[in-house]
Structure 1
C-alpha cells in the first residue's frame, strides 16, 4: 500500500485483504504518521498485524471509532478470555476497571467516581496550583536549558496522584518505571512486561495491607474500607488492580500530554502569543491540543461479541478491534481544518479521553492539571523557547502512550 495522495478512492475494496504491520513507523516530532490519513480515505476498517502476531481491524474514521467505543458488542472483558487476540506479546491476565464490561464495570466505577466529580476536582485546583508554582519556582532557579519533562511534566501529575491515592511520593521513580514497562508494546521483552505486572501487583498489594493497618484520608484507604465492610462490592483482587489502574493512568497520560502541548505551542508561535495575551483561552487551548496531540494513538483493544458491520465491512465475532483515537480526532468529516490548531473551534468532541463506558474517569482532574500547568508555565516564562531544534525531539517508541522523552527549554 502506498501513501500517495492520488490513491484511488475505491482502493479500499481491493486493499482490504492486505494486512499492515502495526504499529506504523513513527513520524518525526508531533506529526501523525501519514498512514492514518491515508487509511481514513481509502481503507477505514483496515487489517493490521499487532506486535503479538494477532490480527486486528484498525478503525480510523470518527463515526466508526465512536461506535466501537460505545457499542456493547465491542467488549473489553473479552480480551481476558482464553485464546483472545492481544496487542502485546505479554497478556495482561487480570481484571481491572479498564477491562470490565457493564454492569460489572459500572459497579466498580461507581466506587471511585465521587473522587473525580467536578466539585471534587474544583476543590483540588488550589493544591494543583500550589504544586505547579513550587515546581516553576524551582525551575527558575536552574540555569537553562532545563529539561521540562522531569522539571514539570512528570513531577506535577505524579505528585497529585500520590496525594490523591495515598501513595508514598518517594516511590515515584520505582512505580513510574514499572508503569512505562506496563504500557509498552514492543519496546521491552515479554519477560520484562510480565515482571512489571507482577511488581505493580505486589506493590499495590503491600500498599493495601498498609492502608488496612493505618488508614489515611486518601482514596486507597477509602477503597480498602469499602472492601472490608462489604467484599461483595469490591473484591480484594479488584481493589488491588483498581489501584494499579488509577496509579498508572493517573500520571502517565498527563505527563505525556503536558509535554506534547508545550511542544505544540512552542512550534506555533502565533498561537502561543495569543494564549499569553488571552489567558482566558486556556480551556479551549487545552481541548484543541488534546484533540491534535493526544497521549495515545489507539484506544484499548476490543473484541467483538458477534459479527458487526462497520463502514460496509463485516467484522467477524471474536475479532480484535483497535479504534484509533488520534485518527478520529483528525477526521475532516467531524472537524473543519483538522490539522490546524484552532482555539476558536465551536465544538470539540474529541476522543483524547476515549468515549462511552470507558470514558476516562480522571478526565476532569487531567484537564485541571493541564490548564494550570500550561497556563502557569507560559505566563511565568514569557520568553520560553525550545533549546534544541524541534526535529531533534524524540518520542519513545513501542508504547501505548506517546510523549516526548526529553524536552530541553530555555528562556
Structure 2
C-alpha cells in the first residue's frame, strides 16, 4: 500500500465473495489504531461502513427503511424530470458538451436531495469536500482533515435544520429516531454522511463510466445495466478487512491481524463469475443499490433517445480520467452528436 503496509489482494470471484461475507474478516478491526492502512481515507469507527455485528445491524436497519423498493420507485418521477432538464441543458450547450459536469455529476445529487432531504443549493460545498476526501494524491492527504471537518460541520448543520423544520425525507426521519434514543448524535451524523457520500460520488462516477463504456466499448446501447455494472465498477476495490483469527481463503492462510482487500474489478472479470460484485456482498452490501439502478435505468436510455448519434468527441482532452481516487471515474467526457 502507499502507506508501506501490506494487504492480501483477492482477485478471484468465488474467493472474493466468500471474503466479503466472512465475519472473521472485520471492518471494525480495520479502522482500529495500528491496523494496516491503505492510504489517507479512513472512515470513522462510528460509520455504518466501519462496524460489525449488532451495532452495524442496528444502524443498517435504521437506514435500510429508506431504500425499500417502494420508496425508491417513488422517486422515479423526480429522477425522470431531472434527467429531462439536464438533457435540455446539454442540448443548449450543443456538440462539445461535457457529460460529467452537465449530466452524470448533477443527477445523483438531485436523487439524493429527493430521498434524504439535502438542498440542491448545498451541492458546491459538499461536492468539493467529498472529492477531496477520496483524493489519494499527496496533496489530497494534506488537506483531508480540513475537508473531514467541513463535511462533519455541514451534516451537523443540516440535521439541526431538520430538527427545526422536519420534512418527509430520510434525514428528518433519522432525527426522529435519534430523539427516540435509538441512535446517538455522533452515529446520526456519521450515518447521514455515509449515505450522502456513498450515494453521490460513486453514482456520479458509475454513470459516467457506463456512458463511456457505451461510447467506446464493444457493447450495444441496449445492453443491460447489470452488465455495465459488471464491466465498469466505479468502486474497484473493497474497504480493507482485518482477520480477527486465522482464515483460509482460496488455499491461503490469512493470519490474525493481517488485512484483506477484494478487487471488485478483477472479480467482476473473472471468467467463472456468475454475477458481479460491484455493490459488494454480505452484510456490507451497498444499501443504495436500488437507487443507483433506478438512475442508470432512466438516465442511459433517455440520453441515447435524445441524442441517437452520440459519440465521444475527437478533440484533444475530451476524455480525462480522475487520478488518485478510491473510486474510478472520469472528470471530463466531451461528446458530439
Normalized against structure 2, the TM-score is what? 0.96
1:171 to 112, 118, 122: 122
Long gaps (5+) in structure 2: none
1:96 lines up with 2:47 in the alignment: yes
Q: Which residue of 1 aligns with 2:56?
A: 105
1:6-405 aligned at under 5 Å gives the runs 50-89=1-40, 91-186=42-137, 188-229=139-180, 231=181, 233-268=182-217, 271-272=220-221, 275=222, 285-334=224-273, 349-388=275-314, 393-405=319-331
**Which of these two proteins has the greater Rg computed from alpha carbons?**
1
Distance 2:291 2:66 in 1: 10
SS class of match (1:57): strand
Distance 2:326 2:41 in 1: 14
Distance 1:294 1:134 in 2: 26
SS class of match (1:141): helix
Distance 1:367 1:91 in 2: 27
Distance 1:186 1:137 in 2: 36
Distance 2:41 2:218 in 1: 42
SS class of match (1:188): helix
SS class of match (1:352): coil
TM-superposed CA distance for 1:120, in Å, is: 1.2
Distance 1:181 1:207 in 2: 20
RMSD: 1.7
Q: Deviations over 1:312-364 (max 9, x none)?
A: 21111011111110100001122xxxxxxxxxxxxx52001001001110100
Q: Does the 8 Å CA contact 2:28/2:45 hold for their aligned counterparts?
A: no
Q: Does the 8 Å CA contact 1:51/1:185 hold for their aligned counterparts?
A: no
When the two structures are aligned, how many residues end up with a matched partner?
Answer: 337
TM-superposed CA distance for 1:191, in Å, is: 2.9
TM-superposed CA distance for 1:90, in Å, is: 5.8
Relative to structure 1, the CA distance from residue 391 to residue 331 in structure 2 (aligned partners, 3 Å threshold; closer, same or farther) is farther
Range moving further from structure 2, 357-366 or 174-183: 174-183
Q: RCO higher in 1 or 2 (8 Å CA, sep ≥ 6)?
A: 2
Q: Which residue of 2 aligns with 1:342?
A: none
TM-superposed CA distance for 1:184, in Å, is: 2.4
Q: Does the 8 Å CA contact 1:96/1:245 hold for their aligned counterparts?
A: yes
SS class of match (1:167): coil
